[in-house]
């Protein structure tokens, strides 16, 4: 199974129906370690595969290739390859291996940042999260990566497109925290202060076992946007807010208002 010819035959022969794909998925998992350990040897197989038809096998090989050490020169070429795959891959196939697809997409985010052009990742990342979603109400772990790229490239309007969805299904609590924080920042960039307050408020009050740096930053920006948009802010948090959050944020309410404003305005990264 680890030979190039055998792997190519498996991928080409078992990409047709659900039963075949289940078998292929099992086979690919068995040789996953070999794909990562010798990714350069398996990479030429990508030229023999159609990413729109052999999406599952293509995903495993490409994910292994991008997980290896990559130079800045190689990164630019891989961005093209990953973006092309995301655009044409079959959603029903990549959903069989969501962890591999997520790993590949997060690597894309790292690569476009490495080459200094986060805008190159905005469109493919949006396509990726839509293909990964089971419905528009599903918040994937890729949402926050997409919003981060929108922030870094100042593509605020693109970010607003996913912030309009009603979210009821969340994979991980941290996904929601980052989604609300980055989403709030995008709304600030578009001067949609009401929506920004809503998202930042959720980021601060969402249940969490311990206080996070993201929640603290969300609280700072929530206070500042409240002052800008409403002319006032309240230090009280709703009763359902975790005791950990209330305790750790308590000292912020004890800082004088003007001192807090000066601290916030002195941070160049606020807006």
Residue pLDDT, tens place only, 98-112: 999 999 999 999 999
* Kind and range of the H or E run holding 139: strand 138-139
Q: In sequence order, what DSSP letters do the residues of 170-218 get, joined into one string?
A: ES-HHHHHHHHHHHHHHHHHTT-HHHHHHHHHHHHHS--SS--HHHHHH
- Asked if the model's pLDDT at residue 234 lies above 70, the reply is no
Quote the CA–CA distance of 19 and 25 in Å, as a whole number.
Answer: 10
Quote the CA–CA distance of 27 and 43 in Å, as a whole number.
Answer: 18
- Asked if the model's pLDDT at residue 256 lies above 50, the reply is no
Work out the average pLDDT over 232-244: 60
Place of tokens 């949006």: 126
- Asked if the model's pLDDT at residue 77 lies above 70, the reply is yes
Cβ atoms of residues 109 and 145 within 8 Å: yes
What is the bridge-based pairing of β-strands 138-139 and 169-170?
parallel
Other CB atoms within 10 A of residue 117 CB: 14
* Kind and range of the H or E run holding 163: helix 156-163
Work out the average pLDDT over 90-100: 97
pLDDT score recorded for residue 207: 73
Quote the CA–CA distance of 228 and 191 in Å, as a whole number.
Answer: 10
Three-class DSSP category at 169:
strand
Question: pLDDT class for 1, splitting at 50, 70, 90?
Answer: very low
Residues 6+ apart with CB under 8 A from 135: 169
pLDDT score recorded for residue 251: 58
Work out the average pLDDT over 245-271: 55
Place of tokens 């600030």: 188
User: Where is pLDDT greater, at 249 or 195?
Assistant: 195
Three-class DSSP category at 236:
coil
Share of the chain above pLDDT 90, in %: 64
| Residues paired with 139 in a beta bridge | 170
Place of tokens 């969300």: 218
Residue pLDDT, tens place only, 96-145: 999 999 999 999 999 999 999 999 999 999 999 999 999 999 999 999 99
Quote the CA–CA distance of 135 and 271 in Å, as a whole number.
Answer: 31
Quote the CA–CA distance of 27 and 14 in Å, as a whole number.
Answer: 10
- Asked if the model's pLDDT at residue 240 lies above 60, the reply is no
Three-class DSSP category at 138:
strand
Query: Which one, of 104, 100, 98, lies nearest residue 81 by Cα?
Result: 104
Share of the chain above pLDDT 70, in %: 83
- Asked if the model's pLDDT at residue 226 lies above 80, the reply is yes
Question: From the CA atom positions of the chain, what is the Rg in Å?
Answer: 22
């Amino acid at each position: 199974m680890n030979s190039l010819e055998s792997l190519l035959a498996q991928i080409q022969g078992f990409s047709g129906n659900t039963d075949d794909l289940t078998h292929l998925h099992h086979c690919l998992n068995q040789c996953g370690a070999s794909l990562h350990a010798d990714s350069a040897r398996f990479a030429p197989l990508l030229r023999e595969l159609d990413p729109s038809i052999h999406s599952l096998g293509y995903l495993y090989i490409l994910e292994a290739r991008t997980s290896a050490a990559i130079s800045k020169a190689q990164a630019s070429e891989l961005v093209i390859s990953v973006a092309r795959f995301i655009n044409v891959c079959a959603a029903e196939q990549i959903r069989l291996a969501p962890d591999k697809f997520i790993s590949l997409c997060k690597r894309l985010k790292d690569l476009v940042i490495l080459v200094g052009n986060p805008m190159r990742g905005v469109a493919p990342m949006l396509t990726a999260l839509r293909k990964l979603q089971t419905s528009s109400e599903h918040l994937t772990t890729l949402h926050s990566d997409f919003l981060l790229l929108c922030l870094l490239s100042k593509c605020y309007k693109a970010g607003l497109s996913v912030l309009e969805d009603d979210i009821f299904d969340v994979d991980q609590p941290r996904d929601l925290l980052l989604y609300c924080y980055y989403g709030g920042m995008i709304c600030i960039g578009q001067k949609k202060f009401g929506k920004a307050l809503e998202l930042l408020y959720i980021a601060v009050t969402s249940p969490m076992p311990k206080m996070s740096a993201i929640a603290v930053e969300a609280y700072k920006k929530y206070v500042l946007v409240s002052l800008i948009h409403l002319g006032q802010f309240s230090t009280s948090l709703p009763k359902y807010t975790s005791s950990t959050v209330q305790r750790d944020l308590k000292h912020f309410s004890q800082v004088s208002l003007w001192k807090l404003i000066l601290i916030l305005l002195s941070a160049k990264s606020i807006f």
